[in-house]
Structure 1
Amino acid sequence: MPTGVSANAMLNLQPWTRPVETVTTNIGLRFQYAFNDDWNATLSANQHAFKRDDYTAFPYGCSGQDLYPGFCGNGDYDVYDYRSLGETKKPLSAQAMIEGKFATGSLRHAFTAGVSTFRRKDRAGLYVYDWVGVSNIYQPQIVGTSPGVTGPVRLVRKDTENSVFVQDIISLTPNWKLHGGLRHVDVDGYQYVLKADTEIRAKHDFLLPNVSLVYTPLDNVSVYAAYSQGMEHGGTADRKAMNANEELTPSRSKQIELGVKMDVTPDFMLAASLFQIRKGLEFQNAARYFVREGQAQHRGLELSAQGKAGRDLNLGVSLTALNSQQSGTGNADLDGKRVPNVPALKAAVHADYAVQQVAGLSVNGSWEYAGKKAFEYNNTTFVPSYHVFNLGAAYATRIAGTRAVLRAAVNNVADKFYWRDVTPESDGYLYPGASRTFKVSAQFDF
């Protein structure tokens, strides 16, 4: 493996590549109506649209030494012409909900009921992914493009999810509250797998309960225990899997949590919780099929503090310790190992200070930490931990009689290089965090 090469080196820099061209739009509407002091209704909807054209010189492998992934001993690597054009996604969500308060005998209720729908349409065409030559990490080479052409864009995915839900918070006594809810989800899915030229249709339904019990021994202290189930959308097999581009069916996740919250002052809160989340483990097995087998379990402790820590200081602190584990796959190389891309420790601190000497001025800073993470399901490789520091300021004023907030920020002040996220899919990807970034913005309230 070649050494001494900066992680900032652009291995896909070819004259025929272009930046990924992305266009997005988002429109949201919300209407709320109060029938009286105790009952109200809410209608909301959101339409998102996304379009992307991708032209990339994709560096991958060393055919001369049959290394996939990898580099040749002299720094050579294969270059592929990757083009995916006209990909679009259009998710639409809408919800109608009614909320109210009433009593049945000595029990007081805070009741919520509603219906929601989510509709998604994805379009795409056959992409080009062709070998076009060899470059070198020490002496980059210009290579040509593929004569291949992308296929016509067509509907490749259509999902419809309809839900009905109810939730009730029952005040049993002045110190005890019971939260209970139920959601029924109907999922109607359609896939067209481009490479296989096959259609997949599937319908599923889920009944998802949630329940929690809250005890308030003091006015400013609450202790709770909670159990809930959720629906997890299935992942999509990558292009190298035998079932490439197929999406797995939805599945069920289960979570339990024990916690305590304390209002130290009316404006400052401390919280601690123990939790466990279990869901299906998705990975590419030895037969090169993308499957859901066994489970991924996350057990953790979360500590947090948030609120006004002084007259001019707002503070947010969080610390999460996680034990993640794979089990039930029947593969000794996977069972008992850590789940990829999950750090054992995460921490963050955010502070915002109002400068009294200058009316409307505040300064802020934050620190983020993530521990090392497993790169593959068998935990052969780990990516290192990282720290990131950010600084910023905001100034609230009036411009031409209009309220305005001017903001400036420097993210990743130390310009530290780090791997923000990783995935073992398609032989593995590393996603670098953003380098030092300067941001300015203005907000006007009319």
Structure 2
Amino acid sequence: MLKGQEYTNTNHRVEAIGRFATAGIGHELTIGATYNRRASAGWFNGTARAAQNLYDPVDIAPVSPTLTQTGFPSEVNDRGLYVFDRMSFGEQWQLLAGLRKTVYRSEASNPSSPVPTYRADKVTPNVSVMWKPLKDLSVYASALRGLEETGTAPLNTDNFGQVLPPAVSRQHELGVKARLGAVLLQTALFQTDRPLATTINRVYQVGGETRYRGLEFSASGEIGRDFALVVSGVVLDAEITKVGTGNPLELGKTPENTPKNTLGVFGEYRLPMVPGLALNAGVYHVGKRAVNNSNQAWVDGYQTLSLGARYQTRIFDKAVNLQANLDNATNRNYWSTAGNGLLGVGAPRTLRLTAKVDF
């Protein structure tokens, strides 16, 4: 339970795009700058102890713990400059090459943090090649590096609230995209190497590296005049490939809270007898996950069902979109997250109502 949370997120971006040709090569040049500031005023937290069984959960009586300040003010400033050039060599070949310079700074006032301030100044490249042997078929390969955040220390560590230093991740991908009529098919093989954040002697820190290899696929489009379908999934082989001092047992294990497979199927049917009205349903699967990087236990996979309705009309000559969604329609009990010595309970059956008016 967290109380008194207050967050501020500020984003700015400016971008210029130009097209020109040199020596028969088409160029689409993009130059831009970004600024992001994220600030937290801290929070109050209370804890209580109760016996529980991971594999056979029982109801726990309500508790009223004493709230104390356990989160401290923090601020992250992330500035970036980037330039990308998409080059076209005839109708079949394209090359995208670019660089991004990131200037990152984080500060925290937590007195328990051994290093309350981090700074990083990195230039990371991005290169991809696309080949279109046919009008509706393309093959691509990409390689990129990026500076990414590595997380914030959770409440059950001695340096809780500390924002960890950013680190460079690497990604390679080989994919195919094809359009069959009104259906878009996509599949890709990928490998991502990224830093590992873990707890060593009750201190949350960057302590190794993880490798994610997998296959992702999706199919989306119109089936007939009134039905749309989206299917997507990932088959993943994740492994801890490097460990730091203090956590040798994690080497070769699966990173915590990482499923080996996910799958989603979503469909929408537009009722021809009621113009503007559409009904939808989705089924989502998440595979089993390790509760920690040592793989001492696993939480089961789960499936959830969502149902919804959408109605588009005009009121006073304004476009209006009304939508209702029932998430976890069967009210299934499941663990939504696992890691950092904690388990997260999945949300119960939830009804969401939204209305959008275009002026």
Q: TM-score higher than 0.5 here?
A: yes
Q: Report deviation, 1:123.
A: 2.2
Q: TM-score, normalised on structure 2?
A: 0.89
Residue in 2 that maps onto 1:434: 347
How much has 1:175 moved relative to structure 2? 0.8
Where does residue 125 of structure 2 map in the other structure? 209
Q: Which residue of 2 aligns with 1:73?
A: none
Cα gap change, 1:306 to 1:161, in 2 (>3 Å): same
Q: Is 2:203 the counterpart of 1:289? A: yes
Alpha-carbon deviations, 1:330-357, whole Å to 9, x = none?
6442111111111111000111111112
Question: 1:108-139 CA distances to partner (integer Å, 9 max, x unpaired)?
Answer: 011100111122333237x56587xx777899
- Counterpart CA distance in 2 for 1:95 and 1:299 is 32
Alpha-carbon displacement from aligned partner over 1:44-96 (angstroms, at most 9, x marks no partner): xxxxxxxxx61xxxxxxxxxxxxxxxxxxxxxxxxxxxxxx4x4322211111
Structure 1 distance, partners of 2:77, 2:237, is 35
Shift of 1:247: 2.5
Counterpart residue type for residue 189 of structure 2: L
Which residue of 2 is the match for residue 33 of structure 1? none
Sequence identity, in percent? 30
CA displacement at 1:140 relative to structure 2: 7.3
Question: Greater relative contact order (Cα 8 A, min sep 6): structure 1 or 2?
Answer: 2
After TM superposition, give the deviation of residue 439 of structure 1 in Å.
Answer: 3.0
C-alpha change, 1:205 and 1:311, in structure 2 (3 Å) is same
Structure 2 CA distance for partners of 1:335 and 1:141, relative to 1, 3 Å: closer
Distance of aligned partners of 1:410 and 1:210 in 2 relative to their CA distance in 1, 3 Å threshold: same
CA pair 193-346 structure 1, distance change in 2 beyond 3 A: same
How far did residue 417 of structure 1 move?
A: 1.1
2:280 to 342, 348, 364: 364
> Distance in 2 between the 1:281 and 1:318 partners?
27
Give the gaps of 5 or more residues in structure 2.
53-57
Shift of 1:236: 2.3
Instruction: Pick the aligned partner of 1:122 from 32, 40, 43.
Output: 40
Q: Which amino acid aligns with 1:429?
A: L
CA distance in 2: counterparts of 1:348 and 1:142, whole angstroms? 35
Q: 1: distance between equivalents of 2:110 and 2:17?
A: 42
Residues 291 and 299 in structure 2, CA contact (< 8 A), matched pair in contact too: yes
Q: For residues 140 and 274 of structure 1, do their structure 2 counterparts lie closer, same or farther at Cα, with a shift above 3 Å needed?
A: closer
Q: Residues of 1 paired with 2:210 and 2:331: CA distance? A: 34
Structure-2 residue corresponding to 1:192: 109
The answer to whether the Cα contact below 8 Å between 2:39 and 2:76 also exists between their aligned partners in 1 is yes
Confirm or deny: 8 A CA contact 2:241 2:251 kept in the other structure: yes
Q: Does structure 1 residue 272 correspond to structure 2 residue 187?
A: yes
Map 1:247-262 → 2, pairs under 5 A? 247-262=163-178
What is the 5 A alignment of 1:332-351? 332-351=248-267
Q: Answer yes or no: is 1:324 the counterpart of 2:242.
A: no
Name which of 77, 101, 116 aligns with 2:19: 101
Corresponding pairs, count: 352
SS in 2 for 1:338: coil
Q: Is the 8 A contact 2:196 2:208 kept in 1?
A: yes
Q: Answer yes or no: is the 8 Å Cα contact 1:420–1:431 preserved in 2.
A: yes
Gaps in structure 1 of 5+ consecutive residues? 1-19, 21-52, 55-84
Q: Give the AA of the match of 2:32.
A: G
* Paired letter, 1:405: N
In structure 1, the residue corresponding to 2:294 is in which secondary structure? coil
Secondary structure, counterpart of 2:256 in structure 1: coil
User: Taking structure 1 as reference, are residues 120 and 408 closer, same or farther at Cα in structure 2, changes over 3 Å only?
Assistant: closer
CA-CA distance at 1:214 after TM superposition: 0.3
For 1:334-413, list aligned pairs within 5 A: 334-413=250-329
Q: Which whole-Å CA distance do the structure 2 matches of 1:275 and 1:190 have between them?
A: 34
Q: Give the equivalent residue in structure 1 for 2:55.
A: none
Residue by residue, what CA displacement relative to the aligned partner does 1:246-297 show, whole Å, maximum 9, x if unpaired?
32211000000000000112x3200110000111111012x33322122111
Is 1:414 the counterpart of 2:327? The answer is no
Change (3 A) 1:260 1:430: same
- CA distance, structure 1, for counterparts of residue 59 and residue 33 of structure 2: 60
Q: Counterpart in 2 of 1:231? A: 147
Q: CA RMSD in A?
A: 2.6
Q: Distance in 1 between matches of 2:46 and 2:250?
A: 31
**1:421 offset after TM fit, Å?**
1.6
**Partner of 2:77 in structure 1?**
160
Distance 1:399 1:206, change over 3 A: same
Q: CA deviation at 1:399?
A: 3.2
In 1, the alpha carbon distance for the partners of 2:234 and 2:104 equals 33
Question: How far apart in 2 are the matches of 1:212 and 1:337?
Answer: 31
Residue 369 to residue 249, structure 1, CA distance change in 2 (3 Å): same
Residues in 2 aligned to 1:242 and 1:276: alpha-carbon distance in whole angstroms? 33
Q: 1:289 to 1:357 in 2, by over 3 A?
A: same
Q: Do 2:106 and 2:163's aligned partners in 1 also have CA atoms closer than 8 Å?
A: no
- In the alignment, the residues of structure 2 paired with residue 190 and residue 297 of structure 1 have an alpha-carbon distance, to the nearest angstrom, of 29
| Corresponding residue of 1:13 | none
Match of 1:309 in 2: 223
Greater CA drift, 185-194 or 296-305: 185-194
- Paired with 2:36 and 2:233, the residues of 1 have a C-alpha distance of 34
